[in-house]
Amino acid sequence: MSTNPLIFEHSRPGRRAAAQIPRAVDDNALADLPAHLRREGKPALPEVSEPEVVRHYTNTSAQNFAIDKQFYPLGSCTMKYNPRGANKAAMMPGFLARHPLAPERHSQGYMECMHELQDFLKEVTGMEDVSLAPMAGAQGEFSGVAMIRKYHEANGDDERSEILIPEAAHGTNPATAVMCGYKVREVPVGKDGDVDLDALKEAVGPQTAGLMMTNPSTCGVFERKIEEIAKTVHDAGGLLYYDGANLNAILGKVRPGDMGFDVIHMNLHKTFATPHGGGGPGAGPVGVSKRLQRYMPTPVVGQRDNGSFYWKDTDELPDSIGHLSAFMGNAGVLLRAYFYAMVLGREGMIRVGEYSTLAANYLSKRLQDVGCDAAYPSRRASHEFLLTFARQAKHNGVTAVDVAKRLLDYNQHAPTVYFPLLVPECFLIEPTETETKEALDRFVDAMENILKEAKDDPDLLHGAPYTQPLTRLDEVQAAKELDLAYKEEGAA
């Protein structure tokens, strides 16, 4: 039984969306294709009418929670409002029709936007230069660590085999270090949420290529000893990588370049309000200090003395780590970020950091007032903060997942759960600057009720959610059966 049939279940032989079907060609037109390389029969795509497709995907979309429908406080994901104007801008026919390999004369308008975006990002992060090439945060990370590697190699510093990563870091950090051919050494985080500086001092050495860190960290606090950390790593000959996942918290207030970072990536789908799209596309531009400038991923938009724009490629940047995609990154995402940057401007940038921090500290305080436990109660929240349900787990047998699922019944998307791993039964909550005070208060009301339910009727939480199209799914059974593609009944 399913609540929303698959598009394949609407399929009827011979039905079609006729307006979308190009005219048939006569068979002679295909005669030059060798018969032994031809497909037998047509691909088994669904046979449906256009009205059915529109209704099906409209109904399917309705089964999602989304920022446009709900408060969506996923920690470290920055689920803020995605301006519709940005979408309109990126979907302008001239931008959509521009071929990525179009000559310069057919690219000046697009490149002017990208050049201004590069300049804007440089200034707001305090970095020497910016490349827009990486297509996602993880690709930005990859670029950054690959540049660190190139830098050491160029210096003949071949013994540096290790990347240091605080234990609270995103999973992409260690995975990236390995993709760049490094070993990973984790650095512990202290009780106050800051990196354990003594442990760091012991960990650094001639084998250290660099340190990857997020600041404010994924513990939801600003790393107060950042300058000492930078000095420790730099003194050992390593470089400092800034994971921009939490840049929203400090936008316009502190610049990574001023904190001593050598290379950074930004998640434009977080900080610059481009849509998350159900899991991408993102954009992960990288910013570099002067010493890493020559290694930036290509292409980069340059400007000539006469004002015209051009692509700086590996001929001009021969030491570049090279191309990361077939063309020049996720252009449509970059255009949306450009729109956002231009609408917000200088004052708007500063307000992002300020109001996202205000919202997080307000929400944190109110949640603690109704009985939630903060993981770091003595600290200021950044743009996000950690709660722990360790107490409820112990006394009521209620886990963070139970609370998360119950929140869905209150029409609130759950925060990030079980991340970072070092805090038991945790919620990482990021409200963002675009939510009203009422929206934050409604979340507090929901949490207050759920805490009460956890005490009075823990089973109620174990069975949640009750109001969604489905109840909890059996992931174990799903992984065992591993049904990854639909088969019609009776099909082999």
Partner 1 sequence: MPYIPHTPDEVRSMLDTIGAESIEALFDEIPAHLKADKLDKLPEGRPEMEVLAQMGERAARDGQPLCFLGAGAYDHHVPAAVWELATRGEFYTAYTPYQAEASQGTLQTIYEFQTMMSRLTGMEVSNASVYDGASGLAEAVLMALRANRKSKSRRVLVPDAVNPRYRAAVESITSNQGVEQELVPFCTEAGQTLTDSLKPYEGDDYAALVVPQPNFFGSIEEVDALTNWAHEQNMLVIALVNPTALALLTPPGEWGQQGADIVVGEGQPLGCPISSGGPYFGFMCCTRKLVRQMPGRIIAKAEDTEGRTGYTMTLQAREQHIRRSKATSNICTNQGLAMTAATIHMALLGPEGLTNTAAQSHSKLNQLLDKLTAIDGVEKAFTAPGFHEAVIRLPKPAQAVVDALSEQNILAGYPLSQSYHGQDDQLLICATEKRTEDEMDRFANALQEVLQ
Give least dist CB 199 to partner 1, A.
18
Q: What's the min distance (Å) between Cβ of 449 and partner 1?
A: 18
162 close to 185: Cβ distance less than 8 angstroms: yes
Cα distance between residue 193 and residue 375, in whole Å:
9
Residue among 114 and 454 whose Cβ is closer to partner 1: 114
Question: Shortest Cβ distance from residue 158 to partner 1 (Å)?
Answer: 13
C-beta closer to partner 1: residue 186 or 391: 186
473-483 burial string, b = 16+ CB within 10 Å, else e? Answer: eeeeeeeeeee
Look up residue 343 and give its amino acid: V
Provide the minimum distance between the beta carbon of 347 and partner 1 in the complex, in angstroms, as a whole number. 6
Token readout for 454 is 């956890």
What strands, in cross-sheet order, belong to the sheet with 208-213? Answer: 129-131, 286-288, 263-266, 239-244, 208-213, 162-166, 183-187
- Of 333 and 454, the one with the shorter C-beta distance to partner 1 is 333
The single residue listed with the structure tokens 């050495």 is 205
**To the nearest whole angstrom, how small is the minimum distance from the Cβ of residue 123 to partner 1?**
5
Shortest distance in whole angstroms from residue 255 CB to partner 1: 5
CA 466-470-471 angle, to 5 degrees, is 55
First to last CA, the chain: 21
> Minimal distance in Å, beta carbon 459 to partner 1?
13
The rounded Cα 374 to chain-centroid distance in angstroms is 25
Which lies closer to partner 1 via its Cβ, residue 7 or residue 391? 7
CA atoms within 13 A on the CB side of 67: 24
For partner 1, the closer CB: 269 or 443: 269
User: CA-CA-CA-CA torsion for 153, 155, 156, 160, nearest 10 degrees?
Assistant: -60
Residue (313 or 373) nearer to partner 1, CB: 313
For residues 54 and 455, which CB has a smaller minimum distance to partner 1 in the complex?
54
- Closest approach of partner 1 to the CB of residue 260, in Å: 9
Handedness of CA 445, 78, 166, 175 (dihedral sign): positive
Helix 437-456 / helix 400-409 crossing angle, nearest 10 deg: 120
Q: What gap in Å lies between CA 457 and CA 383, rounded to an integer?
A: 33
Residue number with CB closer to partner 1 (128 or 354): 354
Instruction: Indicate the residue among 285 and 465 with the shorter CB distance to partner 1.
Output: 465
The answer to whether 196 and 224 have CB atoms below 8 angstroms apart is: no
CB 200 within 8 A of CB 236: no
The answer to whether residues 383 and 246 touch, using CB atoms and an 8 Å cutoff, is yes
Q: Give the nearest distance from C-beta 394 to partner 1 in angstroms.
A: 24
